[in-house]
Structure 1
């Protein structure tokens, strides 16, 4: 069986004005995602060293929603980098300790994280995907280019825009919800929500994100021996 492995770290965490608060936010975010997506996890998301984290997921997991939950859960405080890998696990899997698992899934995730660090598109890149399957090479390349474009778009979001992305993704994932409902949830006017969404290109971002995840679910996860 093959899995999605996720490894990541917080950008410039040593320069944070309050590292303790940042680590507490990271732990809170990971715990919330562990609870929300527990049925999709092979091993829980966990902090493995100060500002680094990892997790292991079933091939049917809504993996981009999970990545976005981490990213936007922390985005108001700090940026992150995530490497996402797909492949086998060659060790025993402890559901509570993803740090004990290893194999191609994690090797590919570390390769993807290195790609984020080395090909960072002027500091805007946050997520890359890697697998070692020549039959899916074109899918991997296309998914990565879509992720790069998403990062370019979202790198321009500020303040209320980031708060909207954080609330939306942590509350609804990629589900479509009305602007009226969103305004009520966030305590803003419908006009404020409408203006923010238009300035962000939010629904184009969300629709493309959802379709990219479907490709991963159907083509990559569905190709799981």
Structure 2
């Protein structure tokens, strides 16, 4: 049976002055993700070494959704995220660092490619043709994100959460027109639609494999 391992690392973290604040941000992010995705997380996301963390999920279905939330919650830090799919060769442990198997190797390979190619989220699964498509879409989404200003980033992420321009405007104390203009400039609705389609595609793979 194949599982999914997601390994993430903060790029350039050794150059940061306040590493304690970074560690706290990582710990808070992991707690939020572990709680939100508790139904699919098999081994909770935990710090493995330094500013790297890893966890195991039951399949690829929510893998991009989890990975991109790491990217969003750790902003403005830049991440490298490797998503692997494959078998687990050892017994289950409470820490993924104490386990082994093809899925861990693929996740590590994907993480290395993420750093080498400067691509935040990289997949290495049992289907290389699928990887080509998913990694291409992931890179296009990243390219859109990296063109956002800080204010656009804030507004897009809030809109993603609430899906209502007026609600975001109320939160930020600005006009609905201001939010609308920022979303248009950031190509937010195209971005969110493509992101949703990628998530749907990964879920369909899981459903197809379990027919």
**TM-score normalised over the length of structure 1:** 0.86
Alpha-carbon distance in 2 for matches of 1:36, 1:187 = 28
Selected match of 1:100 from 89, 98, 101: 98
What SS does the corresponding residue of 1:8 show, helix, strand or coil?
strand
- Note closer, same or farther for the CA distance 1:87–1:168 as it changes in structure 2 (3 Å cut): farther
Whether the 8 Å contact between 2:82 and 2:110 is mirrored in structure 1 is: yes
Tell me what 1:209 maps to.
195
Unaligned runs of 5+ in 2: none
**Alignment equivalent of 2:113, drawn from 112, 115, 136:** 115
2:139 to 143, 148, 171: 148
Q: 176, 195, 203: which one pairs with 1:190?
A: 176
Aligned to 2:17: 17
Matches within 5 A, 1:58-207: 58-59=58-59, 61-76=61-76, 78-94=77-93, 96-120=94-118, 125-132=119-126, 136-168=127-159, 171=161, 177-207=163-193
Give, in whole Å, the separation in 2 of the partners of 1:102 and 1:189: 52
Q: After superposition, give the CA deviation of every residue in 1:170-207 in whole Å (9 maximum; x if it has no partner).
A: x46xxxx2222332344432122112211111111111
How many residue pairs were aligned?
A: 211
Tell me if structure 1 keeps the 8 A contact 2:43–2:95: yes
Instruction: Tell me, yes or no, if the aligned pair for 2:61 and 2:199 is still in contact at 8 Å.
Output: no
Report the Cα offset of residue 51 of structure 1: 0.7
CA distance in 1, matches of 2:156, 2:80: 17
Distance 1:137 1:167 in 2: 34
Instruction: Return the alpha-carbon distance in structure 2 between the equivalents of residues 140 and 221 of structure 1.
Output: 18
Residue aligning to 2:53: 53
Contact 2:61 2:202 (C-alpha < 8 Å) held by counterparts: no
Measured at CA, do residues 10 and 163 of structure 1 come closer, stay the same or move farther in structure 2, by a change above 3 Å? same
Deviation of 1:87 after TM superposition, in Å, equals 1.0
Q: CA deviation at 1:224?
A: 5.9
Q: CA deviation at 1:54?
A: 0.6
| 1:3 aligned onto 2:15 | no
Superposed CA RMSD in Å reads 2.0
The answer (yes or no) to whether the contact 1:59–1:221 under 8 Å persists in 2 is: no
In structure 2, what is the Cα distance between the partners aligned to 1:29 and 1:127?
Answer: 17
**Helix, strand or coil for the counterpart of 2:83?**
strand
Q: TM-score, normalised by structure 2?
A: 0.91
Shift of 1:99: 1.8
2:37 aligned with 1:40, yes or no?
no
Alignment partners' CA distance in 2, 1:168 and 1:71: 16
